[in-house]
Structure 1
Amino acid sequence: MTTIVTGTATLCVFDPALLRHKLEEDCDWWSIPSAELAAVNAGQVAFFNVGGDGAYELALHAELAEPQVIVHLAIVSGRVFIGAGEDVTGGGLEPDTAYGGLFVDLPAGSYRVQARRDGAHISLAFVSDTRSSNAFGDLVRI
């Protein structure tokens, strides 16, 4: 288990290779709902609105029996960042773990990111899948 601290009430999960095109955009490009939704629906990033700023305990699982939400995600480099929304690629910066978050190694492919929140506890699972895009009409919340 690890702790993720967010000042944007958001957890993000993504392969940094898929968001390099956002490197020179404003650091808060994703705070525009249409931009966030477009990136999530393209399978480039999973943003989970957690309802409030603060510290959240994160646990990774092989699979969740009853996820609250599933986001399809593409992974091309085999390296996935999980951290606070404010650590997403942008403003000339890419994520690192100096201020929190973690990197997880997964084989390249398409995944269902299953998510569940119980208070300050967040559970995530990466399940191999054939689909890497989404069709959300609104921002993702857990």
Structure 2
Amino acid sequence: MQGTFQMDTDTATLCCYDLASLEHRLQDTPDWWSIPDDELEEVNAGHCLFLNLGEDGTYEVHWKVQAAVLEPESEADQANIYYFQVPSGKVYLGSADDVSGGELEPDELSQGIFLQLNPGNYACTVFKKENQISVTIQPSDQGKNKVQDLIRL
């Protein structure tokens, strides 16, 4: 499964998460994740990947989902790999402008796409060059992260 979509963002951030993973944030303020500690907490728990792009604008996102389990060969291979959990299978990949909060969730009008994945843990490999973003999602044994700082592409 693969494709391409364009997204506009006013938050300079791409996100990837299973909607069930952030149900506990639905009643929170819409910009709850603008608090760095809250963002980092959810990333490390594997609930949501917030991928900071550096600037607002329009981006072309090339995505693919692979069936093979990710097995990085070295630490260098892991530099752009982040992990997340998929409890329900309904995954949103798109602008973080639409992340769950303020009693709202992403929908068909959001700046992103919905992927139907099997429940489990996933790895997300991400690369950015100018306004082009490449995202590869594949099953993983790992579902949590141990990052010390916010993810910046």
Question: What range is the shorter-chain TM-score in?
Answer: over 0.9
Distance in 2, Cα, partners of 1:130 & 1:99: 30
Does residue 14 (structure 1) correspond to residue 14 (structure 2)? The answer is: no
Which stretches in structure 2 are left out of the alignment for 5+ residues?
Answer: 67-71
Distance 1:13 1:71 in 2: 10
Give the corresponding residue for 1:45.
48
Task: Find the aligned partners of 1:81 and 1:108 in 2 and give their Cα distance.
Answer: 14
**What 5-or-longer segments of structure 1 have no aligned partner?**
none
Describe the shift of the 1:62–1:105 C-alpha distance in structure 2 as closer, same or farther (beyond 3 A): closer
Structure possessing the higher radius of gyration over alpha carbons: 2
* 2:97 pairs with one of 86, 102, 105: 86
Counterpart of 1:60 in structure 2 is 63
Please point out which of 101, 106, 117 is paired with 2:112.
Answer: 101
Under a length normalisation based on structure 2, what TM-score does the superposition of the two structures give? Answer: 0.88
Which structure 1 residue ranges, 4+ long, deviate > 6 Å from structure 2? none
Kept in 2, the 8 Å contact 1:7–1:53? The answer is yes
Looking at structure 1, the residues matched to 65 and 144 of structure 2 have their Cα atoms a distance apart, in angstroms, of 21
What is the percentage of aligned positions where both structures have the same residue? 38
* Closer/same/farther in 2, CA of residues 55 and 67 from structure 1, 3 Å limit: farther
CA distance in 2, matches of 1:134, 1:33: 15
Shift of 1:32: 0.2
With normalisation by structure 1, the TM-score equals: 0.94
**Number of residue pairs the alignment of both structures matches:** 142
> C-alpha offsets along residues 51-86 of structure 1, whole Å, 9 cap, x if unaligned?
1001100111346x9786111100011111011111
